[in-house]
Amino acid sequence: MIIVLKPRSDTRVIKHVLERIEALGLKPHLSEGVARTIIGVIGDESKLSALPFQAIEGVEQVVPILKPFKLASREFHPEGSAFDIKGVRIGGGGLAVIAGPCAIESEELLFEIAARVRAAGANILRGGAFKPRTSPYSFQGLGRDGLKMLQAAGERFAMPVVTEVMDPRQIEMVVEYADILQIGARNMQNFDLLKECGRTRKPVLLKRGMSASVKDLLMSAEYVLSEGNRQVILCERGIRTFEDSTRNTLDLSIVPNLQGQSHLPIIVDPSHGTGRPDLIPAMARAAVAAGADGIHIEVHSCPERALSDGPQALVPDQFDRLMREIQALADLFGKTITSRTGEAVACARS
């Protein structure tokens, strides 16, 4: 449920309401807005009726949240959430452009790709240090060495960095080097991992599972939010259908669908969503036009030699052209691609 406090409620009133909620063994989530202070109450539903919250001093209204996802819902947070990650704004008019190789293969190659995507206008660098692969014999990533390279590249090119964490035992290590923790599609319902990431204060990029519904995705986000981490970014990366001419089926309707149900930012990954470089630019443009808060693109200097997912990567020249188109769309739809310095990114021109 949501408890709406009366206007200009002071700290004494807020503290009293929080104490009464906690006395019932429930978990309060405070959200202080300009006009209203609201408190989300999470926990055993049988306890929610044990106390007449409306009778507490300072309470104006008690509103039940009917959806199974509480903290992720628009009912709890009517305005869209926006996060500032080292000067890069995601949501609230800020457009995230995440780019880089699927896997970190070497420091030289990572720095080469990072330089090109940064020059083209990307504002967040991606790279996998741990790789969940279908085959146990495929390249599994460089681990800590890869994380060190990624952090160094992020510092060199003034970009926050995002990388995937696959196991709760990796979190402490990844937090040391990364600015954003990515939870991949295969781990979307790894609830222990979700809860542990929720206990960090690092932003979490949560990818939709291959067969997950919108509700499934939001319930997974709820696990992170319920542990106190409010910085969750949702990611559409394609779902599995009967269609076999693309790697997955990219569901762009999820962008307005999610925005109607949740306040969390939503970005789109057309690289995994299509698996085809010839389709990635069109789907990236369509994602921005649909209202996405960001795009996620894999870029490699020589895809044919890539150790992971080379066939779905753009080469830097292709990414340059795409970024000029994305910038034009961002301008058209009133979105800004900000850099780590907090200033607007100037995309490469030819």
What digits encode the pLDDT tens for the residues 264-300? 999 999 999 999 999 999 999 999 999 999 999 999 9
Q: What is the pLDDT of residues 173-232, one digit of tens each?
A: 999 999 999 999 999 999 999 999 999 989 999 999 999 999 999 999 999 999 999 999
Q: What is the pLDDT of residues 97-123, one digit of tens each?
A: 999 999 999 999 999 999 999 999 999
The residue ranking higher by pLDDT, 130 or 214, is: 214
Question: Quick one: pLDDT band at residue 50, thresholds 50, 70, 90?
Answer: low
Mean confidence (pLDDT) of the chain: 91
Q: At what angle do helices 254-261 and 214-226 cross, to 10 degrees?
A: 50
In the chain, what are the domain boundaries? 2-63, 83-332
Q: Supply the pLDDT for residue 34.
A: 65
Q: Is the pLDDT of residue 350 over 50?
A: no
Q: At what angle do helices 280-290 and 316-332 cross, to 10 degrees?
A: 20
83-332 has which CATH code? 3.20.20.70
Q: Is 269 helix (H, G, I), strand (E, B) or coil?
A: coil
Report the 3 state secondary structure along 117-177: HHHHCCCEEECECCCCCCCCCCCCCCCHHHHHHHHHHHHHCCCCEEEECCCHHHHHHHHHH
Query: How many CB atoms are closer than 10 A to CB 48?
Result: 17
Report which of 155, 218, 179 is spatially closest to residue 96, judged by C-alpha positions: 179
Q: Supply the pLDDT for residue 307.
A: 83
Model confidence, pTM = 0.88
Question: Quick one: pLDDT band at residue 333, thresholds 50, 70, 90?
Answer: very high
Mean pLDDT of 19-45: 79
Domain range 2-63, CATH architecture:
2-Layer Sandwich (3.30)
Radius of gyration of the CA atoms of the chain, in A = 21
